[in-house]
Each structure stands twice: as C-alpha cells, then as structure tokens.
A and B are shown apart, each in its own frame.
Chain A
C-alpha cells in the first residue's frame, strides 16, 4: 500500500479462539479475534492501530512476533517469509521487539535494570562483559543514566522509569521494528508526554519502524504516519493519518473520531455519535461487523462482507464500507464512475 520498501508485511492473518473444553468434542463457538487482516509496515514508518477493546489489535501484535500462532495467513520480514521453525522465529524476534502496557508485570521483579536489559543479549550468545556494556548504553539511550539506574529493581523505579527500562530492553538487541502495545496508556499525562517524546526521538535517531497500538485516538494521531482502524477482528480502514482523522471513509471510523473528547468546553459533544457497546466477538454475524451499530446499514451490509477498497481521492487510503464504495449498491454510495474533480 505504500511505495517505500515494506519491512513487515502481514497477509490474511486469521486467529479464532475456540470456546469451551476442546476435549469434549469440537467446540461450536469461537472468538473471531482477528479475521483476514493484512497490512504492511514501511521502513521508518509508524503505523498506528486503533480500535475498542476486543477488536483484536493486541492479537495482531502478538501474531506478528509469534507469541500467538496464526491459524492462517503469512508474515514476511524484509521480503522473506517467516515460518514456524525455531530459526525463523529467532530471526523474527531479533528484528521485531515488543513493549507491553503493564510496565511492572513485564519486568522480572528480581532483575535489576541492567540484568533485565542484558538478558536478551546473553540469550543471543553475546559475551557477558559486552552484554552488560550494551545494556548500559541502552539505558543511557532511554534517559536512565546507568550510574544511577543500572542496579535498581523494578519496585525502586517510577512507572515512567519502568517503561523506559522496557523500551531499553527491547532496543538492546538492535531491532528494526518496535511493537508498542498500549505502551503509554498506563502512565500519567505528564509522564506519558516524556515517553512519547522519547519514542519520537529514538525513532529519528535509530531509524526504527513502529507499530503503535492504542485506544487513545489523540496519542495515535500524534505519533503515527498511517493508521489502521479495527473493529471486531476486522480491518475497517487504513490510510494516512491526516486522511483518517479529517476525511474518514468508514462509518465506524467516523463514529470513533467523533467520539473524541473535545478539550473545549464551548464545543461539547451534544449527542453521542453511536449508541451501544461493541458487541461480543463470539460467532460474529455475516456481512460488515459494524452493521449492528451502524445508523445507515442496509440489507447488503448484513449479508456480504465488504472488501477493503481504495477510497475516492487517495489510492493509499482504503476502507471496507459499502456506503462510500463507488457502485456498491448501497443507497448512499457514489456512482460507479466517480466524476474526476479538477484540482
């Protein structure tokens, strides 16, 4: 979808979690965590992934680094497919690292900052002294001077400092891609800003690519080049950040963007853009996943799943919504041959 060289390409990823005890016959129900999702990440790019709880954004992240095995679909790293073999997974994890939301749970309470950060380097067979020196460099890089912080345990650090250790650990083995799964969500605003600035700076300095997963639409807008919008395991829309926020194409994206809090008491939201909660991802109905909450859903939307189609006006902006898809048959859809407007 982008012209720049893709570093990670995911195609047709599917992950269904069966419900109930698999020992007693085949389970009839399943959670469609991720259903036929694909995207590419260009070198040096930040791809934001937004969506509400249960939309599958974390499952996608976990499939990318093989913490969860996809049922179907493939992942390519630097143009080469990544298989299930141990060697392939090791190669993948050397290039792609992840930072989790809970900075406390994701650190070993009995490891000092330096032990935590150097652990991955030991595992890769680096000599002890080199690993410790590299870990100190990484700590320095994330703004934790090793002379003060390298001997500290997680409980001796603040939330922001712990998240910096997590980032240092991910960076120590010099990955190309960092997956940040709600990495700043648990932090207070003032500390969140520190970590966001750090991430922006590190990206520039080290030429990293980010997959930035968050439910916070403002934060995603701040860091991302492109944004992927998910709903109940499906990609609803993907496109350049400014298009997604100023000219969303999918009805769900429109509702999500309009749900943002105003930060301006003179422009309060008069009425909520949509009602109800995201439904459960158990045995989703056919058709568009958003149809049940969509104000303009028609029979077509409830019967056939819309494919992602590039939007009128921007070939890098894709959406899966019949209402904006030319010639789809939806009563609100533009005609099949859109009139090319002179610029």
Chain B
C-alpha cells in the first residue's frame, strides 16, 4: 500500500500490535496492522465484535488501559504517537485527533451543559477567552445542524434526544478543528431515520472541513454510505483492504465474501442467507495459521500451518489469504 505520497500522509500505521496481559494469558487484540490515511479520506474499520477494530482505533490516540502493550509505529501528522509522554498526548487528543463515541449519553458529562463542555475544550487547547469560546461553541452547534442552537448551548445532555446528543458529541469533537476524526460505531444506538441523518452530516462536514475520518462499524450498510476505503478485520488482523465499491462488488478474502453473503439486504432478498459456520476464535487462543481457517469453506493444508501475509493486489488493495496471488510488485 506504499505510494510516492508517503510524506503527505496524515496517518501512517505500521505493524501495530496491541497485547493485553491478563488472567487468561496474553490476548493479542491487534496483530500487525498497517494502513495509511490522507486528509479528506474516510476509512471504515469493519468487523464483528471482538475483532480488534475498536482497540485499533483507540491505540491511534493511546486511549487504552494500562495493561495494554503497544508495538509498532503510529505516525500522526508527523508525530510518532507511540513515543509521546502523557502530557504531550493530552495536547494532541482533542486538537489533532478527536473521537466520537457510540453512546453520547455516557460520553458527555451529565452535570455540565453542552456549551460548558465545548467551551472547556476550546479554552484548554486554543487559549482564547470564554466569550470567544462561547461564540465558537454556538458556531459549532449550528454547523452540526442543531435547531435553536443558542438555546441548546445551555441544555444538559439529558434534555436532548438521542440524535441531538450525537450531534452535540460531534460538535464537541470538532471544536478544535481536528485533522483526524475517530468515530466508534457513532450511529449504532440510533434509530434508522436518525442514523442516515448523522451519516449524511458526517459526509457534509468532511467536505467542508477536509479532515480524515476513521469510522469503526460492524455494518456494511454504514460503510457503503460513508467510506472511501474499508479495512476488514478478523481476530485482530487486517484481512482485506479495498475501496468500498470494489469490496462490495468483488470481495477477495473468503471472510469478506462470507460476511457479505450472510448480511441481510435487498440483494439477499430472494436468495438464501449463507451464514458463516461456527464463531470467531478466542483472542487468547488464536489458531496457528490463518485465524479464519476453521470457518472457511476454501481451507487447504497450508492454511492451518502458515499464517498468510497481507498481499498487495493492485494499487489500493491488499488481501491476507493463501488463495490470492500477488498481482503488482508492491506487496506490502
């Protein structure tokens, strides 16, 4: 996935691994993950529960419990995040990189108004006066299309509906004009008619502000609405990265193909739903070889002994499967 524009990349993740040392032994939540992202681009980390997508995203701003051990490199806007001290991390969190969580009710502070929470962040990072920060907060609420923004500035989180709360959360994340916006299942808790509003809003905001977005989701429908590229994860590893259109049209990794076949959508309406047998492996005990081999319908001898590498096929596509033959010489 390396190209000549390496220097212009906003984010460059190389060989990222995250391990947790706990009672059940060593859990490898993220295993040798590499990807890159430019300004204005949207990447979706896609996978089922426990595949490591959230841990991958959180490690980009080192938002992990103390038991986590991170190896590999995360270069964000020219800075090696993995080498930063806590004090330096606090500076980039909220300014260079900001995060939108799944449940805005527990991510927002219930005892402060929406306005106070945004003002605090703006004052802390930009050192402006409170009236200036308040004006900025109002501007932000208008930007995320909260009706009667002036009044909502003085509202507490519990006074807002689910959709407005998520908009307020996005306003808070955008308060210091981050270059990278991380969003962890930002629409999963929302109703269908509200979910599409938030996705369209995120798309519009990105066009206006030009930031890069990484969105974690388990839903191919969400990825189809917003992603430029998708990175599919399984058992802590990236198994396929591709442009969203190519991924939906012609998935190359057996897991991606199986996930598509087992997702109910208009496409599957008149055909039979093909589920993936079994369940994802325990991360403390990942099988030798390919982690998907026990559930894969194309498994052969090599799959159970040797873990496949991520092989580049074409300019912006990579697959981790023994069945895929490298096309271009740029295997990464």
Contact = CB atoms under 8 A, between A and B. Distances in A.
B224 A222 contact: no
B24 to A, nearest CB: 14
A343 interface: no
B26 interface: no
Interface residues of A, number: 43
Interface in B170-216: 191-197, 199-200
B104 to A, nearest CB: 12
Interface stretch (A8-16, A24-32, A169-177, A252-260): A252-260
B269 interface: yes
A275 interface: yes
A84 interface: no
Contacts of A255: 193
Interface in B233-291: 244-245, 248, 258-259, 262-269, 272-277, 279-280
Interface residues of B, number: 45
A225 interface: no
B197 A217 contact: no
Interface of B is mostly: helix
Contacts of B280: 188
Contacts of B194: 52, 277
B245 A265 contact: yes
B225 A262 contact: yes
A269 B222 contact: no
Given A193-B264, A277-B164, A272 B193 contact: yes
B264 A261 contact: no
A261 B193 contact: no
Contacts of B267: 263
Contacts of A265: 224-225, 227, 244-245, 248
A28 to B, nearest CB: 20
A49 to B, nearest CB: 14
A338 B194 CA distance: 36
Contacts of B268: 222
Interface in A38-60: 52-53
A147 interface: no
Interface string A243-276: 0000000000001100111111110111111111
A105 to B, nearest CB: 17
Interface in B91-105: none
Contacts of A194: 275-277
A269 B200 contact: yes
Interface of A: 52-53, 158, 160-161, 188-194, 196-197, 215-219, 221-222, 255-256, 259-266, 268-278, 280
